[in-house]
């Protein structure tokens, strides 16, 4: 999952804690500078007290403090941010790799909570919940007809391990209402979406983020593929915004020989720290490919940089995001936190791949959008590189710093210049909602099909392509998809497979015509 950088207000007292924190990073200040900083902190706290106690009108001082904190952090870098308590709890849960709940994927369809699919082997699946079910009540809490926000629904369905909840469910396929009691349990949040074979000797692993469990998931996936005779491995970190760098380092270690440099960090406050591979590598021979795109960032770039700089494998795709800063989270007593940049990281050749942010946060995050205008998502020659940031690997390959990892093998976007919205639309939630609603019309028909029968039916009809185009128009998106029929059908049909058969079937269908996979399997084409 990617982190949201739109943060909400901080509580009073955060300024003081933040001031102490920033002061602690200043080394050994002189007594004058220390007194000046103390005076500044006192002024901030006194000002808040004056406004709170003396100002003519009632004022929400929390919001004033929020503005102050945001302004302070905005002067630092785009990745030093404040995280409110509720959001911090959600992020911590995502990065932990599991939560306690009933185990369903759902969304609000019209005025009801519709089950897209129960989590395989989860509490809901064990209790008999099926895809397409509508949850009407959770215990005595009415869920339909209210258009509840997702956070309220999550809070209702979560609870303690072993606690029970009684759901009142309407099953449309059988036209009946029933009560189902579910015992809550730990639900894993996978960071490795899938591991499968692309051919007899080439394996594929998709990593969506780097969480606490990512390395363990990755090792399990790789061991399974090796048992199936895999000799080459494709690691897909497209659209992976990063996470814990330690997990990326541990994965890189599996491919590099003992004492090979993986990454190093520099800070004005701490000595340079170098991270090296150990003896434990389980895939130190065999071809390795890493797939990246413009949304691959942070820990994804650490992994790609380690593989590229050590001449260990081939980087395929488009230039990555360009985040070369390391953050540390500091918690406040109210559950909120500040994520503060504490160092820069460098790839083994000495590259910093952090893109510039001197023009402010807005320009920084818009830089990715400018790649469309400059044409670099379509032609490798359009990628701007700086000769002064040129580095060489041990085998003499030229690599560049200054703003992301430039791939060894460039693969353009599949949509034409000016129609990029098609590619991103097809990987958005709207496709999943469309497919659910199509299945909901006649779920029993699909339930009787084997996967092979399903593929034959879905691939030989334009029914759902036409329906999807109409669905977009009904939702205010007037897009002519006729020039991208094959691309649209691939993603729509794959989503049908996901909801009917599971994630691995989605990837089996969508990867068949994937341009980056083709570049790996058929490099001369």
The CA distances from residue 131 to 151, 172, 350, 364, 440, in Å, are 21, 10, 51, 42, 9
| CB distance 325 to 525 below 8 Å | no
Is 309 an active-site residue?
Answer: yes
- For residues 27 and 459, give the distance between their C-alpha atoms in angstroms, rounded to a whole number: 64
In sequence order, the 6+-apart residues with CB closer than 8 A to the CB of 303 are 235, 237, 248, 251, 252, 290
- For the chain, the residue count is 525
Helix (H, G, I), strand (E, B) or coil at 393: coil
- For residues 84 and 219, give the distance between their C-alpha atoms in angstroms, rounded to a whole number: 34
| CB distance 451 to 506 below 8 Å | no
Is 151 an active-site residue?
Answer: no
Ramachandran angles phi, psi of 350, nearest 5°: 105, 10
Positive or negative torsion for Cα 96, 99, 104, 107: negative
Q: What is the DSSP letter of 180?
A: E
**What dihedral angle (degrees, nearest 10) is formed by the CA atoms of 479, 484, 490, 495?**
-10
Rg (CA), the chain: 25
- For residues 427 and 431, give the distance between their C-alpha atoms in angstroms, rounded to a whole number: 7
CA angle 358/363/367 to nearest 5° reads 105
Question: Which residue in the block uniquely carries the two structure tokens 């960032």?
Answer: 297
Q: What is the DSSP letter of 243?
A: B
Q: 3-class secondary structure for 452-520?
A: HHHHHHHHCCCHHHHHHHHHHHHCCCCCCCHHHHHHHHHHHHHHHHHHHHCHHHHHHHHCCCCHHHHHH
Catalytic position from the list 66, 232, 296, 298: 298
| CB distance 347 to 394 below 8 Å | no
Catalytic position from the list 309, 320, 336, 514: 309
| CB distance 305 to 40 below 8 Å | no
Q: How many Cα atoms occupy the beta-carbon half-sphere of 24 within 13 Å?
A: 9
Catalytic position from the list 41, 206, 323, 508: 323
List beta partners, residue 348. none
Is 524 an active-site residue?
Answer: no
Ramachandran angles phi, psi of 194, nearest 5°: -160, 150
In sequence order, the 6+-apart residues with CB closer than 8 A to the CB of 459 are 489, 493
Q: Cite the active site residues.
A: 298, 309, 323
């Amino acid at each position: 999952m990617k982190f949201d950088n739109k943060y909400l207000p901080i509580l009073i007292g955060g300024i003081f804690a933040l001031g102490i924190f920033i002061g602690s990073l200043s080394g050994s200040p002189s007594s004058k500078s220390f007194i000046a900083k103390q005076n500044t902190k006192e002024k901030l706290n006194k000002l808040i007290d004056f406004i709170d106690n003396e100002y003519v009108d009632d004022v929400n001082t929390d919001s004033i403090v929020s503005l102050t904190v945001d302004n302070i952090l905005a002067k630092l870098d785009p990745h030093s941010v404040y995280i409110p308590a509720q959001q911090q709890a959600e992020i911590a849960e995502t990065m932990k790799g599991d939560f306690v709940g009933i185990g369903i994927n759902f969304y609000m369809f019209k005025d009801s909570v519709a089950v897209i699919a129960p989590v395989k082997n989860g509490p809901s699946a064990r209790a008999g919940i099926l895809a397409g079910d509508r949850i009407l009540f959770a215990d005595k809490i009415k869920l339909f007809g209210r258009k509840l926000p997702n956070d309220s629904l999550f809070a209702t369905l979560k609870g303690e391990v072993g606690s029970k909840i009684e759901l009142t469910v309407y099953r449309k396929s059988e036209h009946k209402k029933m009560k189902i009691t579910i015992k809550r349990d730990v639900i894993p949040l996978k960071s490795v979406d899938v591991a499968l074979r692309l051919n007899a000797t080439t394996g594929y692993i998709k990593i969506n983020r780097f969480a606490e469990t990512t390395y363990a998931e990755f090792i399990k996936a790789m061991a399974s593929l090796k048992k199936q005779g895999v000799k080459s491995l494709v690691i897909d970190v497209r659209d992976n915004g990063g996470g814990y760098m330690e997990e990326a380092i541990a994965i890189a270690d599996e491919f590099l020989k003992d004492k090979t440099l993986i990454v190093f960090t520099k800070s004005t406050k701490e000595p340079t720290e170098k991270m090296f591979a150990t003896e434990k590598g389980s895939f130190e021979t065999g071809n390795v490919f890493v797939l990246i795109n413009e949304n691959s960032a942070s820990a994804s770039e650490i992994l790609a940089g380690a593989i590229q700089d050590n001449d260990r494998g081939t980087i395929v795709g488009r230039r990555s995001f360009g985040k070369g800063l390391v953050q540390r989270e500091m918690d406040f007593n109210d559950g909120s936190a500040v994520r503060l940049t504490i160092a820069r990281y460098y790839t083994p050749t000495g590259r910093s791949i952090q893109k510039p942010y001197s023009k402010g946060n807005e320009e920084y995050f818009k830089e990715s959008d400018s790649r469309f205008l400059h044409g670099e998502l379509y032609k490798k020659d359009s990628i701007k590189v700086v000769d002064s940031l040129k580095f060489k690997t041990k085998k003499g390959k030229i690599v560049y710093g200054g703003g992301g990892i430039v791939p060894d093998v460039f693969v353009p976007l599949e949509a034409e210049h000016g129609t990029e919205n098609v590619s991103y639309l097809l990987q958005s939630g709207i496709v999943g909602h469309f497919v659910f609603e199509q299945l909901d019309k006649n779920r029993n028909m699909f339930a009787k099909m084997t996967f092979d029968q399903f593929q034959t039916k879905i691939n030989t009809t334009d029914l759902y392509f036409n329906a999807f185009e109409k669905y977009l128009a009904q939702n205010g998106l007037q897009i002519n998809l006729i020039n991208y029929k094959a691309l649209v059908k691939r993603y729509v049909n794959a989503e049908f497979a996901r909801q009917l058969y599971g994630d691995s079937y989605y990837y089996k269908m969508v990867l068949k015509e994937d341009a980056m996979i083709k570049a790996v399997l058929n490099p001369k084409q």
